[in-house]
Chain A
Amino acid sequence: MTVGLRLDEAVWGLLHQALQHYRDNPRATDHLRHQLARLEQPLRIAIAGPWRSGKSTLLNAVMGEEVAPVDGVDGSTVFTWYEDGPQPSATAYANGQPPQELAIAKSATGMRVDLVGWRAGELRDIVVQWPTRTLRQVTLIDTPATGRDEQGRAPVMERVLRDADAVLYLTRDGRDSDLRVLETSRESAVGQAAAVHVIMVLSRVDETGGGRIDGLLTARQLARRQHRDPRVNELSVHVVPCSGLLGLAGRILSESDYAVLAALARVPRPELETHLLSADRFLRGDLPVHLDTGVRAGLLDRLGLVGIRLATTLIRTGCDSRAKLSAELIRRSGLTELRESMARLLVDRRDTLKARSALAAVEALLRAEPGRGTDELLGRVEQILVGAHEFRELRLLAALRTTRLGFDADLAAEAARLVGGDGVGLAARLGVEHDATVHRLWDAASDAQWRWRNRAEDPLLRLAQRRGAQVVVRSCEGMLAELAEGGR
Chain B
Amino acid sequence: MIAGIWLDVLDEIARTCGAHGRGDLLQTVRQKRVQLLDPRLRVLVIGESQQGKSQLINAIVNAPACPVGDGRTTVLPTVVQHAEVPSVAVVQAPPPNPGRPAGAALPVTGERTPVPLDQVAAGVAGTFGRRPGGGPAYVEIGLPRALLGSGLVLVDTPGTEEAAALGAAGPAAAPAWADTVLVVSDSTRELSAGELTMLLHVARSHPNVVLVQTKTDLVPDWRAVAERNRQHLAEAGVPAPVIPVSAALRLRAAVGDDRELNAESGFPVLIGRLQRDLAGKSDRLARAAVGVIARTVVEQLAAPLRAELESQEVEEQSGPISRLHAAQREVDELRRCSTRWQNTLADEMADVLADIEYDLRDRTRQILREVDDAFDSADPLVSWDTFQEWLERSLTEAAEANHEWLVRRCDWAARRVADTFARYGGDVLPPWSMTTPPDLGDGLPELERPAVDRFTTSQKLISGMRGSYGGLLMVGLATTLAGMPMINPLSVGVGALFGGKSIRDESKQLLRRRQAVVKTAIQRYVDDFFVRVTKDRRDAVRQVQRMLRDHFTALTEELQEAIIRSFRSAKQAADTDAAVRDQRQREIRLKMTRLAGLFEQAQQLTGARSAPAPLEPRP
The judgment on whether A and B are partners is: yes
CB nearest neighbor in A for B52:
A210
B70 near A215: Cβ-Cβ < 8 Å: yes
Contact (A280, B50) CB under 8 Å given A218-B70, A219-B70: no
Q: Which residues of A contact B246 (CB under 8 A)?
A: 278
Q: How far is the CA of A211 from the CA of B186 in the complex (A)?
A: 12
Whether A209 is near chain B, meaning CB under 8 Å from some CB there, is yes
Smallest CB–CB gap between A75 and chain B, Å? 10
Q: How far is the CA of A208 from the CA of B194 in the complex (A)?
A: 21
A280 near B264: Cβ-Cβ < 8 Å: yes
Whether B247 is near chain A, meaning CB under 8 Å from some CB there, is yes
Q: Which residues of A contact B219 (CB under 8 A)?
A: 279, 304-305
A211 near B218: Cβ-Cβ < 8 Å: yes
Whether B49 is near chain A, meaning CB under 8 Å from some CB there, is yes
B220 near A173: Cβ-Cβ < 8 Å: no
CB nearest neighbor in A for B165:
A176
Whether B215 is near chain A, meaning CB under 8 Å from some CB there, is yes
Whether A111 is near chain B, meaning CB under 8 Å from some CB there, is no
* Interface residues of A, dominant DSSP: helix
Instruction: List A residues 130-178 near B (Cβ within 8 Å).
Output: 147, 172-173, 175-177
Q: Which residues of B contact A51 (CB under 8 A)?
A: 189, 192-193
Which interface residue of A204, A208, A210, A211 has the most chain B CB atoms within 10 A? A210
Whether B309 is near chain A, meaning CB under 8 Å from some CB there, is no
Q: Which residues of A contact B192 (CB under 8 A)?
A: 51-52
Q: Which residues of B contact A279 (CB under 8 A)?
A: 216-220, 222
Q: Which residues of B contact A173 (CB under 8 A)?
A: 49-50, 71
A210 near B55: Cβ-Cβ < 8 Å: yes
A306 near B70: Cβ-Cβ < 8 Å: no
Whether B404 is near chain A, meaning CB under 8 Å from some CB there, is no
Q: Which residues of A contact B215 (CB under 8 A)?
A: 207, 210-211
B193 near A147: Cβ-Cβ < 8 Å: yes
Chain B positions 245 through 256: 1 when the CB is less than 8 Å from some CB of chain A, otherwise 0: 011110010000
Whether B161 is near chain A, meaning CB under 8 Å from some CB there, is yes
Whether B163 is near chain A, meaning CB under 8 Å from some CB there, is no
Q: How far is the CA of A465 from the CA of B264 in the complex (A)?
A: 62
Q: How far is the CA of A281 from the CA of B220 in the complex (A)?
A: 9
Whether A283 is near chain B, meaning CB under 8 Å from some CB there, is yes
A52, A300, A306: which contacts B220 (Cβ < 8 A)?
A300
B49, B55, B252: which contacts A277 (Cβ < 8 A)?
B252
Q: Which residues of A contact B249 (CB under 8 A)?
A: 277-278
Q: Which residues of B contact A297 (CB under 8 A)?
A: 220
Contact (A278, B217) CB under 8 Å given A204-B188, A210-B247: yes
Whether A266 is near chain B, meaning CB under 8 Å from some CB there, is no
Q: Which residues of A contact B218 (CB under 8 A)?
A: 207, 210-211, 278-279, 304-306
B193 near A225: Cβ-Cβ < 8 Å: no
Q: How far is the CA of A304 from the CA of B218 in the complex (A)?
A: 8
CB nearest neighbor in B for A225:
B71
CB nearest neighbor in B for A52:
B189
Whether A222 is near chain B, meaning CB under 8 Å from some CB there, is yes
CB nearest neighbor in B for A211:
B218
CB nearest neighbor in A for B261:
A277
B70 near A208: Cβ-Cβ < 8 Å: yes
Q: How far is the CA of A282 from the CA of B49 in the complex (A)?
A: 28
Which interface residue of B55, B215, B217, B249 has the most chain A CB atoms within 10 A? B217
Number of interface residues of A (CB under 8 A): 32
What number of residue pairs across chains A and B have CB atoms under 8 A from each other?
Answer: 76
Q: Which residues of A contact B52 (CB under 8 A)?
A: 210
A278 near B216: Cβ-Cβ < 8 Å: yes
B161 near A177: Cβ-Cβ < 8 Å: yes
Instruction: List B residues 219-250 near A (Cβ within 8 Å).
Output: 219-220, 222, 246-249
Q: Which residues of A contact B55 (CB under 8 A)?
A: 210
CB nearest neighbor in B for A282:
B220
Q: Which residues of A contact B50 (CB under 8 A)?
A: 172-173
Contact (A222, B71) CB under 8 Å given A210-B215, A278-B246: yes
Q: How far is the CA of A281 from the CA of B246 in the complex (A)?
A: 12
Chain A positions 203 through 232: 1 when the CB is less than 8 Å from some CB of chain B, otherwise 0: 010011111000100110010010000000
Chain B positions 64 through 99: 1 when the CB is less than 8 Å from some CB of chain A, otherwise 0: 000001110000000000000000000000000000
Q: Which residues of B contact A172 (CB under 8 A)?
A: 50
Q: Which residues of A contact B248 (CB under 8 A)?
A: 210-211, 277-278
B70 near A222: Cβ-Cβ < 8 Å: yes
Instruction: List B residues 194-216 near A (Cβ within 8 Å).
Output: 194, 215-216
Smallest CB–CB gap between B168 and chain A, Å? 13
Smallest CB–CB gap between A296 and chain B, Å? 9
CB nearest neighbor in B for A51:
B192
Q: How far is the CA of A173 from the CA of B247 in the complex (A)?
A: 21
Q: How far is the CA of A476 from the CA of B54 in the complex (A)?
A: 52
CB nearest neighbor in B for A297:
B220
Q: Which residues of A contact B193 (CB under 8 A)?
A: 51, 147
B217 near A280: Cβ-Cβ < 8 Å: yes
CB nearest neighbor in B for A226:
B71
B70 near A277: Cβ-Cβ < 8 Å: no
CB nearest neighbor in B for A283:
B220
Q: Which residues of B contact A225 (CB under 8 A)?
A: 71
Q: Which residues of A contact B (CB under 8 A)?
A: 51-52, 147, 172-173, 175-177, 204, 207-211, 215, 218-219, 222, 225, 277-283, 297, 300-301, 304-306
Q: Which residues of B contact A (CB under 8 A)?
A: 49-50, 52, 55, 69-71, 161, 188-190, 192-194, 215-220, 222, 246-249, 252, 261, 264
Pairs A–B under 8 Å by Cβ, sample size 9: A51-B189, A175-B49, A175-B161, A208-B70, A210-B248, A277-B252, A278-B218, A282-B220, A306-B218
Query: Which 3 residue pairs of A and B lie closest in terms of their CB atoms, listed nearest first?
Result: A278-B217, A279-B220, A52-B189
Given contacts A209-B70, A281-B264, 13 further A-B contacts (CB under 8 A): A52-B188, A52-B189, A173-B71, A177-B161, A208-B70, A211-B218, A277-B217, A277-B248, A278-B264, A280-B216, A280-B222, A301-B220, A304-B219
